[in-house]
Amino acid sequence: GENVEQHPSTLSVQEGDSAVIKCTYSDSASNYFPWYKQELGKRPQLIIDIRSNVGEKKDQRIAVTLNKTAKHFSLHITETQPEDSAVYFCASSGGYQKVTFGTGTKLQVIP
Protein backbone atom coordinates (compact mmCIF):
# COMPACT_ATOMS: atom_id res chain seq x y z
CA GLY A 1 0.00 0.00 0.00
CA GLU A 2 0.85 3.68 -0.11
CA ASN A 3 3.47 5.04 2.27
CA VAL A 4 3.81 8.76 2.94
CA GLU A 5 6.84 10.17 4.74
CA GLN A 6 6.84 13.70 6.11
CA HIS A 7 9.71 15.88 7.33
CA PRO A 8 10.50 17.56 9.59
CA SER A 9 8.45 16.36 12.54
CA THR A 10 8.88 19.71 14.29
CA LEU A 11 9.71 23.11 12.88
CA SER A 12 10.27 26.43 14.64
CA VAL A 13 10.48 29.67 12.68
CA GLN A 14 10.52 33.33 13.54
CA GLU A 15 7.44 35.31 12.68
CA GLY A 16 7.74 36.61 9.15
CA ASP A 17 10.07 33.85 7.98
CA SER A 18 9.09 31.06 5.60
CA ALA A 19 8.33 27.47 6.53
CA VAL A 20 8.74 24.46 4.25
CA ILE A 21 7.39 20.97 4.91
CA LYS A 22 8.31 18.10 2.63
CA CYS A 23 6.63 14.80 1.86
CA THR A 24 7.39 11.78 -0.27
CA TYR A 25 5.00 9.08 -1.40
CA SER A 26 5.53 5.59 -2.75
CA ASP A 27 2.57 4.75 -4.99
CA SER A 28 3.04 6.09 -8.50
CA ALA A 29 -0.74 5.80 -9.03
CA SER A 30 -1.42 8.51 -6.42
CA ASN A 31 -2.78 11.61 -8.09
CA TYR A 32 -4.29 13.82 -5.40
CA PHE A 33 -2.32 15.50 -2.63
CA PRO A 34 -4.16 17.48 0.06
CA TRP A 35 -2.64 19.32 3.00
CA TYR A 36 -4.43 19.65 6.34
CA LYS A 37 -3.86 21.97 9.30
CA GLN A 38 -4.85 20.75 12.74
CA GLU A 39 -4.88 23.06 15.73
CA LEU A 40 -4.73 21.55 19.19
CA GLY A 41 -7.93 19.71 20.05
CA LYS A 42 -9.60 20.57 16.76
CA ARG A 43 -10.48 18.90 13.50
CA PRO A 44 -8.04 18.65 10.58
CA GLN A 45 -8.90 21.38 8.07
CA LEU A 46 -8.04 21.28 4.40
CA ILE A 47 -5.83 24.26 3.54
CA ILE A 48 -4.70 23.48 0.00
CA ASP A 49 -4.58 20.57 -2.40
CA ILE A 50 -2.92 19.73 -5.70
CA ARG A 51 -3.63 17.21 -8.42
CA SER A 52 -1.05 15.38 -10.46
CA ASN A 53 -1.66 17.35 -13.62
CA VAL A 54 -0.37 20.50 -11.90
CA GLY A 55 3.17 21.23 -10.69
CA GLU A 56 2.43 24.16 -8.39
CA LYS A 57 -0.53 25.84 -6.76
CA LYS A 58 -0.68 28.98 -4.67
CA ASP A 59 -3.25 30.51 -2.35
CA GLN A 60 -2.14 33.76 -0.73
CA ARG A 61 0.72 32.87 1.65
CA ILE A 62 0.47 29.13 1.04
CA ALA A 63 1.88 27.24 -1.93
CA VAL A 64 2.28 23.59 -2.75
CA THR A 65 4.66 22.05 -5.29
CA LEU A 66 4.58 18.56 -6.75
CA ASN A 67 7.34 16.60 -8.47
CA LYS A 68 5.72 13.43 -9.78
CA THR A 69 8.95 12.01 -11.14
CA ALA A 70 10.61 12.16 -7.76
CA LYS A 71 7.34 11.52 -5.87
CA HIS A 72 7.90 14.61 -3.75
CA PHE A 73 5.52 17.33 -2.74
CA SER A 74 6.04 20.28 -0.45
CA LEU A 75 4.11 22.93 1.45
CA HIS A 76 5.49 26.46 1.58
CA ILE A 77 4.18 29.07 3.98
CA THR A 78 5.54 32.58 3.54
CA GLU A 79 5.43 35.51 5.98
CA THR A 80 4.49 33.19 8.82
CA GLN A 81 2.25 34.45 11.59
CA PRO A 82 1.65 33.11 15.12
CA GLU A 83 -1.76 31.79 14.04
CA ASP A 84 0.02 29.50 11.57
CA SER A 85 1.24 27.48 14.57
CA ALA A 86 -0.38 24.04 14.30
CA VAL A 87 0.28 20.50 13.14
CA TYR A 88 0.32 20.11 9.37
CA PHE A 89 -0.38 16.82 7.62
CA CYS A 90 0.35 15.95 4.03
CA ALA A 91 -1.61 13.18 2.36
CA SER A 92 -1.88 11.30 -0.89
CA SER A 93 -4.76 9.59 -2.58
CA GLY A 94 -5.30 7.21 -5.44
CA GLY A 95 -8.26 6.49 -7.64
CA TYR A 96 -10.93 5.48 -5.15
CA GLN A 97 -10.16 8.14 -2.54
CA LYS A 98 -8.50 6.23 0.26
CA VAL A 99 -6.21 8.88 1.73
CA THR A 100 -2.88 8.05 3.36
CA PHE A 101 -1.60 10.69 5.76
CA GLY A 102 1.92 11.65 6.68
CA THR A 103 2.98 11.64 10.32
CA GLY A 104 2.59 15.39 10.75
CA THR A 105 4.79 18.44 11.28
CA LYS A 106 4.37 20.55 14.38
CA LEU A 107 5.01 24.13 13.31
CA GLN A 108 5.75 26.76 15.91
CA VAL A 109 5.91 30.39 14.83
CA ILE A 110 7.79 32.46 17.38
CA PRO A 111 6.56 36.06 17.71
CB closer to other proteins, 40 vs 111? 40
What is the layout of strands, in order, in the sheet containing 56-59?
Answer: 4-7, 19-25, 72-77, 62-67, 56-59
Binding site for other proteins (CB under 8 A): 1, 31-32, 34, 36, 42-46, 49, 51, 89, 93-104
* In the complex, minimum distance from the CB of residue 16 to other proteins, in angstroms, rounded to a whole number: 28
Q: How far is CA 3 from the centre of its chain?
A: 15
SS3 label, residue 82:
helix
Nearer to other proteins, 12 or 18 (CB): 12
Q: Closer to other proteins at the Cβ: 80 or 105? A: 105
Give the C-alpha distances (Å, rounded to integers) separating 51 from 71, 78, 82, 109: 13, 22, 29, 28
Least distance (Å) from other proteins to the CB of residue 101?
Answer: 5
Q: What's the min distance (Å) between Cβ of 62 and other proteins?
A: 15
